Structure 1
Amino acid sequence: MNQPLSSAASARFVPAKYLAALGPGFLFAGAAIGTSHVVQATRAGAEYGIGLLGFILLAILIKYPTFFFGPFYVSVTGKSLIEGYRQTFGKHVVALFALVQLPMLAIIIAAIAITTAGLAGTLLSLDLSAPAIATVLITGGCLLTYTGGYRMLDWVNKVFIVILTLTTLLATLAAWPMVDWSLYPATAASPLYSAATLVTLVAVLGLMPSDITLAILNSLWSEARNKTRGERCDTEAEKLDFDIGYIGAAILAACFVIMGAGVMHSQGITPADGAVGFASQVVGLYTSTLGEWSGVVVGISAFTVMLTTLLTVLDGFPRMMTAAYHAITRPDGIEEETRRVEGSHAYLVAMLGLSLLAILILFTLMGSFRLFMDFVMVSAFLLSPILAALNHFTANGTSVPLEQRPSRLINAWSLLAIATLVLLSLGYLYVRFIH
C-alpha cells in the first residue's frame, strides 16, 4: 500500500508553501470562466445593462463555501470530494451522481467545443465547418491533457489565464465609457419584478461562477497537485489558492457584463441566438464601434477563455468519472485507494468515451443544440441545491476530524447558499410550469 502523503500543516511557515499550492485555483478559474462568462454574463449586460451585475456578484459571494469545500476537504483528509461522498453517504450516492452527470458532461464538452470553434473560425477565417474545427480542438485537447498530465495542464492554464485576464480587462476599459451606470436601466429587457427577469436571473445565477460540480474537479486537481509534490497543502494554503481563482472569476464575470452593457445595451442591439453567433457578434461590434484593434483584443479574450475551459473539462470530467468508478468498484472495508487516476486505463476510457459522444452530438444533433443546452443548464441549476448539500455534509461528516471541521460562520454561510439555491429552483419551477 502507498504511504500516505505527509501533511504540510506542521511545516514551518514560509511564503514558499503558498506558491507551491498555486495551481488548482487557477484551474478552477480556467474552467469557470467559460460559456457562463462569455455568453451568459455578456448577454445579461446586453439585455439589462448593469442591472443584473449586483445579483451576479451577490450569487458568487453566497455560493463561496459550496465551492470552497472542495479544496478544504482535500486539505484535511488528502482525498477528493468523490471519496468524501463515498465515505459519508455510500457507494450508491456516488453511482447515482455519476449516472446523472454522464450525459450532461458530453453535452457540456460539445457546447464548449463548438463555441471555441466558432471563435477560432472568426479570428482565423478558417474554411472549415464549426463541428470540424471543434473535433480538431477536442482531439488536440485530449492529446495534450492525457500525455502532459496535471503538470502540463497547470502550466498551460496559467499562461492562458494571464492572456485572457489582460485582454478582458483591456476590452472592458474600452467599453467602460459607453456604459449607462443606472442601477437598473429603464431600457432593460424586462422590469425587475417580472417572470421574464426571474427566468433570466436563474439562467445566469445558476451557473455563476460555474456549475457546482466544479468544486469536485477542484478537489481532484488539489489531490493531483499533492501527489505531484509529494505532500499535502494545509487549509490556509489551499484557501489562498482557491480565493485567487474564485475572486478572479468574479471580477471577470463583472467585466463581461460591462462589455455587454457598453457595446450592445448602449446601442440597443439585440443579442444573436446561439453561443457561436453571439460571441462572433460581440467581436464584430467591438470592431465596428471601437476599431479593428478592439475586435482583435476581445476575440483573443473570448477565444482564450473558451480554450482554457475546454482543456480543463477535457481533463476534469474524465478525472471525475474515473474517481467515481474507483469509489464504486473498491471493495468495502478497504479505505485507501491504491489505483491512480491520471494516465490510468479507466481515465483514458472515460476521456475517449466522453469526447466521442461529444463529437457525435456535434455532427448529428446540432439542429437541437439549443434545446440540449437549455436542458443541461436547467438540470445543472436544479441539481445545485443537492450538490451544495452533499458538499456541506461531507465537509462536516465523520471522515473529517471534529476539530478540523468548518467554522460556524462558514457552515451558516453554506446553509444560506443551500437555502438560496432551493428558493431560486422553486421559483424557477413555479414560473415555468405553474404560473
Structure 2
Amino acid sequence: MERDRPHPAGSTLRKALGPGLLMAAAAVGVSHLVQSTRAGAEYGLLLLPVVLLACLLKYPFLEFGPRYAAATSENLLVGYRRLGRWALWLFGLVTVGTMFIVLAVVTLVTAGLAGLLLGIDASPLQISVGVLALCIALLALGNYRGLDLAMKLLVCLLTVSTLLALLLALGKTPDWSGLSGLDRLPDLGTAAGIAFLLALVGWMPIPVEAAAWSSLWTRERAAQTGHAPSLAEALLDFRLGYLGTVVLAVAFVMLGALLMHASGLQFADSAVGFSGQLVELYASGLGDWSRPLITIAALSTMFSTTLAVADAYPRVLAAIVDAGRGGDSRTASAAGGRLGYLCSLGLVSAGALLVLMFAGEGFTRLIDFATTLSFVAAPLIAWITLRAVTASHVPPEARPGPALLTLAWLGLGSGALFSLAWIGWRLAT
C-alpha cells in the first residue's frame, strides 16, 4: 500500500507514538458513544458493515495527515498553501465556521453526562464552564506534554472499560437470533432513517479535516521529543490509533445491540438523554455493580474528545494564520507559536462559551449549520488533502501507493455522493 522504510525499534519508536492516540481520542466522542451505540440499539447488527465501510473509506485521507508531516517536515496547512491560498482559505472557512459550535456541542454533552451520572447539582452551563476551564488549564499549563499524557491515560481507561463491558455483555447474551436487525431494514428508507444513516457515515469515525489535526500533532510530538519520526514510525502510530477507533466503534455497536436492541424503549433524541438510558440499560443487563464501569467508559469517552477538540481547533487556527503569513510549519512549542496557540485557545474557548450562553433555542440551528457545512466541504477537503500528499515536493517514496490511491478515489467518490444526499435531504426537509 505504500513504500516506506522498515519499522525501527527502541526508543526512537516510543518517541514517535502519541499523535495517533490523540486522533483516536478526538474520534471516540458522540460518533461512538451515541451514534454507534444507537445504531446497535435501534438496528441490531444491521449497520455494523456500514460502520466498518465508513472507517475504511475515510482511512486514506486521515492517514495522509501524518504521512505528509513525516515526509515533508511540514504540517498539512502548509501543504494546502502550496496548492494555492484558495485551498488554505477553504480549509480556514470550514474551521472557523464549525470550531465554536463543535467545541460547544462536545463540551455540553460532556457536562450533561457528568451532571447526570455523577449527580452534580448545577446547571449544564455551569458544568460546561467547569469542563472547559479544566481543559484550558491542562492545555495551557501542560502544553503538548500534558495533553499527550492525559490522552494516553484516558484512552487506556476508555479502551479497558469498554472492552470489559463488551465481554460481560457477550457472556449475558446466549441467543443471537434476534440481533441481525433485518426486520428494521425498511425503517432505513424513512426520513428519520436516512438522516441517521447519513450522520452515522458522515461522522464515522471523524470528519476528514482531522487529517490536518494529525499532521500538527505529529510535528508537535517531534518538537517535544527532539525526534523527527520516519514515515514508518508516523504511519505505525497512526494505524494503532485508527485501529483503536475502529475496534471501539464495533464495540459500541455490539453493546447497543446486545443490551439495548430488544429493550423496547423509545430512545431519547438528545445525546445526554440517550447516554443516561445507555448507562441504565447496561446496569440492568450486567448488574448494578457495573454502573461505575459504564460511567467511567462514558465520561472518559466524552472528556477525552472534548480535551482533544479543545486543543485541535486552536492549534489549527494558529497554524492557518502562520501558513497564511508564509510560515513553514512552526509548532506551538516555539516561542512565537506558543503565543499564537494560547491566543487561539482563549478565542476558541470564549467563542464556544458564548455559543452555550446565548444560542438558546437557536443552538439546534447552529448545529445544523455546522453539520451541513462540514458535509458539503468534506469532499473538497478530501480532494485538496489528496493533492497535497501527491504533490511534486513530496518525496516519491513517501507518496501513497496504487492501492491506497484507489481506495482514496473510492472514498472521495462515495463522500461526494453522501454530501449530495445530505444536501438533498436537508432541502427536502
TM-score normalised according to structure 1 size: 0.91
CA contact (8 A) 1:286 1:295 kept: yes
Residue 130 of structure 2: which of 128, 136, 153 is its match? Answer: 136
Q: Determine the C-alpha separation between the residues in 2 that align with 1:146 and 1:175.
A: 40
- 1:233-252 aligned at under 5 Å gives the runs 233-252=229-248
Q: Describe the shift of the 1:366–1:260 C-alpha distance in structure 2 as closer, same or farther (beyond 3 A).
A: farther
Residue 145 of structure 1: which of 129, 139, 149 is its match? Answer: 139
- 1:354: Cα distance to partner? 1.0
Q: Deviations over 1:357-407 (max 9, x none)?
A: 111111222433333323323322222111111110000012212343211
CA contact (8 A) 1:180 1:266 kept: no
Which residue is equivalent to 2:17? 22
Which residue is equivalent to 1:31? 26
- Is 1:54 aligned to residue 54 of structure 2? no
- 1:337: Cα distance to partner? 5.1
Residue 387 of structure 2: which of 388, 393, 397 is its match? Answer: 393
Q: Deviations over 1:193-252 (max 9, x none)?
A: 555433322100111110112111110000001111223111111111001100100010
- The amino acid that maps onto 2:205 is P
CA contact (8 A) 2:224 2:333 kept: no
- 1:289: Cα distance to partner? 3.4
Identity %, equivalent residues:
36
Residue 119 of structure 2: which of 125, 135, 150 is its match? Answer: 125
Q: Deviations over 1:255-288 (max 9, x none)?
A: 1111222222111222102111111121122223
Q: Deviations over 1:54-113 (max 9, x none)?
A: 1101110121111000000011001111111011x2223212321332131111111111
- Is 1:224 aligned to residue 220 of structure 2? yes
- 1:140: Cα distance to partner? 1.3
- Is 1:98 aligned to residue 92 of structure 2? yes
- 1:181: Cα distance to partner? 5.5
Which residue is equivalent to 2:39? 44
- Corresponding residue SS for 1:398: coil
Structure 1 alignment gaps of length 5 or more: 1-8
- 1:428: Cα distance to partner? 2.9
CA contact (8 A) 1:23 1:154 kept: yes
Which residue is equivalent to 1:348? 342
Q: Determine the C-alpha separation between the residues in 2 that align with 1:206 and 1:11.
A: 34
Which residue is equivalent to 1:113? 107
Q: Determine the C-alpha separation between the residues in 1 that align with 2:271 and 2:90.
A: 30
Q: Determine the C-alpha separation between the residues in 2 that align with 1:165 and 1:173.
A: 12
Q: Deviations over 1:333-352 (max 9, x none)?
A: xx745575666222122111
Q: Describe the shift of the 1:344–1:181 C-alpha distance in structure 2 as closer, same or farther (beyond 3 A).
A: farther
Q: Describe the shift of the 1:120–1:194 C-alpha distance in structure 2 as closer, same or farther (beyond 3 A).
A: closer
- 1:432: Cα distance to partner? 4.1
Q: Determine the C-alpha separation between the residues in 2 that align with 1:11 and 1:262.
A: 41
CA contact (8 A) 2:7 2:232 kept: no
Q: Determine the C-alpha separation between the residues in 2 that align with 1:346 and 1:57.
A: 38
Using the TM superposition, name which of 422-431 and 273-282 deviates more: 422-431
Which residue is equivalent to 1:3? none
CA contact (8 A) 1:322 1:347 kept: yes
Q: Determine the C-alpha separation between the residues in 1 that align with 2:211 and 2:73.
A: 15
Q: Describe the shift of the 1:365–1:195 C-alpha distance in structure 2 as closer, same or farther (beyond 3 A).
A: closer
- The amino acid that maps onto 2:55 is I
Which residue is equivalent to 1:203? 199
Q: RMSD across aligned C-alpha pairs, in angstroms?
A: 2.3
Using the TM superposition, name which of 219-228 and 17-26 deviates more: 17-26
Which residue is equivalent to 1:300? 296
Q: Determine the C-alpha separation between the residues in 2 that align with 1:434 and 1:275.
A: 25
Q: Describe the shift of the 1:51–1:300 C-alpha distance in structure 2 as closer, same or farther (beyond 3 A).
A: same
Q: Describe the shift of the 1:182–1:412 C-alpha distance in structure 2 as closer, same or farther (beyond 3 A).
A: farther
Q: Deviations over 1:34-65 (max 9, x none)?
A: 11111111111121111111110111012111
- 1:120: Cα distance to partner? 1.2
Which residue is equivalent to 2:422? 428
- Corresponding residue SS for 2:184: coil
Residue 419 of structure 1: which of 413, 416, 421 is its match? Answer: 413
Using the TM superposition, name which of 381-390 and 104-113 deviates more: 381-390
CA contact (8 A) 2:81 2:87 kept: yes
- Is 1:74 aligned to residue 69 of structure 2? yes
- The amino acid that maps onto 2:104 is A
Q: Describe the shift of the 1:340–1:149 C-alpha distance in structure 2 as closer, same or farther (beyond 3 A).
A: closer
Q: Describe the shift of the 1:180–1:430 C-alpha distance in structure 2 as closer, same or farther (beyond 3 A).
A: farther
Q: Describe the shift of the 1:18–1:186 C-alpha distance in structure 2 as closer, same or farther (beyond 3 A).
A: same
CA contact (8 A) 2:46 2:182 kept: no
Q: Determine the C-alpha separation between the residues in 2 that align with 1:378 and 1:12.
A: 40
Structure 2 alignment gaps of length 5 or more: none
Q: Determine the C-alpha separation between the residues in 1 that align with 2:49 and 2:331.
A: 45
CA contact (8 A) 1:287 1:293 kept: yes
CA contact (8 A) 2:375 2:422 kept: no
- The amino acid that maps onto 1:364 is F
- The amino acid that maps onto 2:116 is T
Q: Describe the shift of the 1:416–1:190 C-alpha distance in structure 2 as closer, same or farther (beyond 3 A).
A: same
Q: Determine the C-alpha separation between the residues in 2 that align with 1:194 and 1:130.
A: 33
Q: Describe the shift of the 1:339–1:171 C-alpha distance in structure 2 as closer, same or farther (beyond 3 A).
A: closer
- Corresponding residue SS for 1:344: helix
